[in-house]
Each structure stands twice: as structure tokens, then as C-alpha cells.
Amino acid sequence: MRPVLSVEQVYKYFGGVRANENISMQVEQGSIVGLIGPNGSGKTTLFNSIVGTHPIDKGSIKFENKEVSTLPIPVIAKLGLLRTFQQTRIYGKLNCIDNMRISAKPAKDNLFSVFSTIPVELSDKAENLLNFVGLYQKRKLRAGDLSFGQQKLLELAMALMNEPKMLLLDEPTAGINPTLINGIIDRLIKVNKEFGITLLVIEHNMRVIMSLAQKIFCLAHGELIAEGAPEKIKNDKRVINAYLGAQ
């Protein structure tokens, strides 16, 4: 298996705060990888570094053997590396279908395609994907009127609409009705298996991440303290200490 995303010795400081220090991780093609750690351990910072929200201070980030740590956000996204946000970001005044239609990758993307028409078949695709995340009935509502959990699902559907190669999910089950969580796990596995999208998931819900991921990385205080299969992580002393705050 070849790594689709490889993060090598990444450092990121905010002033004097060490957000990420010497982080190296490999994500293999077609896998589901978890990223856990207590609050403030630098998970979201690492996500931001990968998708280009801010530059890294040292190290390299390669996506499909291409250095992405110096590229701007839209370019990285166009390579097929997408993320969702912890606090959902959707286009609040547009309805769900429009949210989906605008998220699809255009056939051509150059100066002359600015005024290109949006293909009709995209609406069908959008409806199918909305159905996939259980939002079919809400498709004509304004996205801003949806509840937080529904927006989270919509954001997932929007990312799928773009047909990325890899998807970074920032707490996909946070704020979602617990009865739906099994459904989400099921959907994410389907996304991985059927759509062939590699997933890197930040998650606080241990039950979710343990049943989802094949490999887990654990961050604490900006450093990578453990990595390995879920079973191994579950019993790792350092991980338990980081979460429970041992001396």
C-alpha cells in the first residue's frame, strides 16, 4: 500500500505556542485513519496545515507525492484533498440542492468556464447524495435553517459531491443525534469502500473511532505520542495518561 498523504516532521508555532511539533504520519491509500487527542492537542491545527489554511514553519506535507505545504487552499482542494469543518460551514442562504450543485467539480475550470451552465444531471446526483446522508426531504430548505447536526451531514454530502480522493473529517459526529451515529459510521465505511475515498477522521467519540478506523494517531500537547491499530491505542499507557491526565 502506498501512502496517499505523508506528513513529515511538521512544526507549527503560533507565537510562542507550540501547536504542532515534529509530527510525522502516513495515510495509506484507501484506508480510514483516526486522529485523536485531548482538546487543544493540535489536531485541527494539523488539519489546517494539511489543507493550506496557514503555512507550516518546518517540514513537508505531500499529497500523492506532491508537495502541498506551499500551495493555496483552492489548489489543494482541486487536487482532491478536501476537509469538513468542526463548526459547520455551509452556504446559509442557498437551499440544499444549490449547496450541493456548487460543490461539484466543474468539468472545465478556466477563465472561460466562469459563465458555464451547471449541468442538469448534477441535480440528480445531488439528490442521490442528499438521500445518502438522509437529507432528501430537506433538499429545498435553506441550508441556514437546518439544525447543526443536519448541517454537518450536509457538509459531508457537499464534500462527497466534489468526488475527492481524500477527505479530512473534523468531528463528523459531534452535535449529531446519538441515534444517528451508527448510521453515520455505516455511511462513512460505505464512502470508503464504495467511493474509494481515503478518510482521515478527527473524533472524540471513542466508540465511533474504534469501530471506524484501521489505524489511529494520537496527539497530545502538539506532539504525536502514539500510533497503531485501535486495539493497541486503546491499551497504550501514554494515550490513557494524555486523556485522563496522569502525572
Estimate the crossing angle of helix 121-132 against helix 148-161, to 10 degrees. 130
Which range touches another protein (CB under 8 A), out of 21-29, 59-67, 149-157, 219-227?
149-157
- Grid cell listed for 19: 501547536
What is the side-by-side order of every strand in the sheet holding 81-83? 81-83, 166-170, 198-202, 32-36, 215-220, 223-228
The least distance separating another protein from the CB of residue 242, rounded to whole angstroms, comes to: 29
Asked if residue 78 binds another protein (CB under 8 A), the reply is yes
Measure the CA–CA gap between 188 and 155, rounded to whole angstroms.
13
The partner residues of 215 in beta bridges, in order of sequence, read 33
Q: How far is CA 243 from CA 139, 146, 208, 209, in A?
A: 40, 33, 17, 15
Asked if residue 174 binds another protein (CB under 8 A), the reply is no
- The correct pick among 66, 93, 232, 237 for binding another protein (CB under 8 A) is 93
Asked if residue 30 binds another protein (CB under 8 A), the reply is no
The least distance separating another protein from the CB of residue 157, rounded to whole angstroms, comes to: 12
The least distance separating another protein from the CB of residue 100, rounded to whole angstroms, comes to: 11
Among positions 95-134, residues that touch another protein (CB under 8 A) are 98, 101-103, 105-106, 109, 111, 113-118, 133-134
- Grid cell listed for 24: 510525522
Give me the helices (H) in the chain, please.
43-51, 73-78, 96-103, 121-132, 148-161, 181-194, 206-212, 230-234, 237-244
The least distance separating another protein from the CB of residue 234, rounded to whole angstroms, comes to: 26
Q: Which residues bind another protein (CB under 8 A)?
A: 51-55, 72-75, 77-78, 82-83, 85, 89-94, 98, 101-103, 105-106, 109, 111, 113-118, 133-135, 137-138, 140-141, 144-145, 149-150, 153, 158-159, 162, 177, 180, 182-184, 186-187
